[in-house]
Amino acid sequence: MELAVNMVEKRGQMVAEDQLGFGKHFTDHMFVMDYSREKGWHSPRIAAYDEFACFPAAMVFHYGQAIFEGIKAFRTEDKRIVIFRTKDYLNRFNRSADALCIPHIDVDFVADSLKKLVGIEKDWVPTSVGTALYIRPFIIATDPYVGVKVSDTYKLFIILSPVGAYYAAGFNPVKIKVEDRYVRAVQGGLGEAKTPANYAASMRAEYEAKQNGYAQVLWLDAVERKYIEEVGTMNIFFKINGEIITPELSGSILSGMTRRTVLELCREWGLKTTERRISIDEVYEAYTKGQLEEVFGTGTAAVISPVGELTWKDHKMVINGNKTGEFAQKLFDTVTGIQYGKLEDKHGWVDEVCKL
C-alpha cells in the first residue's frame, strides 16, 4: 500500500503551552484510510484535518460500532520527537477491533504512517513537561444502513492534538467517588475494549459525580458491587502496607498500557506487586488500620494521577494527607523521564520519529 501525502497550507496556530488544555486543538493534517469487504483496508492518505462527508444513516451513529486509541508523542530534551510504545497500543487497537467485529489493521503499516504524520506535524509537539502531542486513532462503521448488523465499510482516522496536563489540578491529588449505583461494564461485555460504548455507559455517573465536586468515579464490579474495577479513564493502583495492588484483568476492565508500564517497573524494582481481585471493603479496612499508603490512577492522558480523597457511601478516605505520595511521584518521574528522554530507555519503549 502506498501512503498518499496531500500537504495543506498551514492553517492552525500553535497555542501557548500553558493554555493548551486537553483535546481542544488539532493539527493541520490527519491520516485516513478506508475499508471495504472487496478491497480490505485501502487508500491510506495524509490529508487536511477537516470536516468529512458521510451519510446520516452511517451505522456508527445508530449502533455505536467504533473503537479508538490514545497514544502520546513527546519532544525530548536531546531534541528528538518520539512516540511511546506505538505498536503495543496498535496491537491493543486490534484486540478492541475483535470485540466489535471490526477488521484488523496492519500494525506495521499504520505505525509507519503514524510516524510520517507526526513527523509532518513536528512543530505541533509542545516542549514543557506535562505537555505532549496526543494521538487519537479511531475506526467507525460507515455502511449507510439503519438495521443492526456488522458493517461492511469502515474509516480509520488518526488525528493529533497538542495537550497540556489532563486534570485542571495538574499533578495534584484528585477526588474520586466510589460508584455504588451505576455500573459500566460486566464480564462478557465490552469492558476490555477501548470503545465509545463504555463511555456512553459512564456519562450519567460521571456527570452526577462532577456535580458533586469529584473528578471521576471508581467503578465497582457490576454483579456484586464489591470488587474494584477502574476509574473512568484510568486503571487504579493501591499501595497497602508496602504492597502494590491493582485489579486483575477480569474481562470487564481495560488493559491499560500505563498499567502495564507501571507493573513492569514495579517488578523490576523488586516490589511486591500483585494483580488480583480487591474489594472496596478491603481498601476501607486497610484505611481504618492506617495501612492504605497511596492510591493512584494510571492512563496515557494523565500518566499517574494521585488520588487524595476516595469517598465510598458516607466514608471519606483521605489518602496520604491529600498529598502526592512518594511512590506515585517516583513512578511519574520515571515514566515521564523515559518519555522526555531524560532517563535511559532500557525497555525499547520509545520510537523515534525524527531528530530536530
Ligand X SMILES: *Cc1c(COP(=O)(O)O)cnc(C)c1O
Interface mask toward ligand X for 270-309; x: CB under 6 A: ----------------------------xxx---------
Regarding 230 and contact with ligand X (CB under 6 A), the answer is yes
Number of residues that bind ligand X (CB under 6 A): 15
Q: Which of 190, 334, 314 is nearest to 258 (CA)?
A: 334
Beta partners for 218?
Answer: 178, 231
- Give yes or no for residue 257 binding ligand X (CB under 6 A): yes
Nearest distance from residue 247's CB to ligand X, in Å? 11
| Least CB distance to ligand X at residue 41 (A) | 23
Q: Does 72 bind ligand X (CB under 6 A)?
A: no
For 89, the grid coordinates are: 497500543
- 254 touches ligand X by CB under 6 A: yes
Q: How many C-beta neighbours within 10 Å does residue 266 have?
A: 19
Instruction: Indicate whether 86 belongs to the interface with ligand X (CB under 6 A).
Output: no
Query: What is the C-alpha R_g of the chain?
Result: 21
Site membership for ligand X, residue 96 (CB under 6 A): no
Work out which of 142, 216, 258, 320 binds ligand X, going by CB under 6 A. 258
Exposure class string for 30-64: b at 16+ Cβ within 10 A, else e = bbbbbbeeeeebeebbbbebeeeeeeeebbbbebe
| Of residues 288, 227, 260, the one with CA closest to residue 88 | 260
Applying CB under 6 A, does 28 fall inside the site for ligand X?
no
CA-CA distance, 238 to 259, in Å (whole number)?
A: 12
Give ∠ CA 166-278-292 in degrees, rounded to 5: 70
Interface residue with ligand X among 12, 21, 23, 70 (CB under 6 A) is 70
Restricted to residues 130-149, the positions that interact with ligand X (CB under 6 A) are none
In the complex, the smallest distance separating the C-beta of residue 132 from ligand X, rounded to whole angstroms, is 12
Q: Is the dihedral of CA 42, 43, 48, 53 positive or negative?
A: negative
- Nearest residue (CB) to ligand X, 151 versus 246: 246
Residues that bind ligand X (CB under 6 A): 70, 194, 198, 230, 233-235, 254, 256-259, 298-300
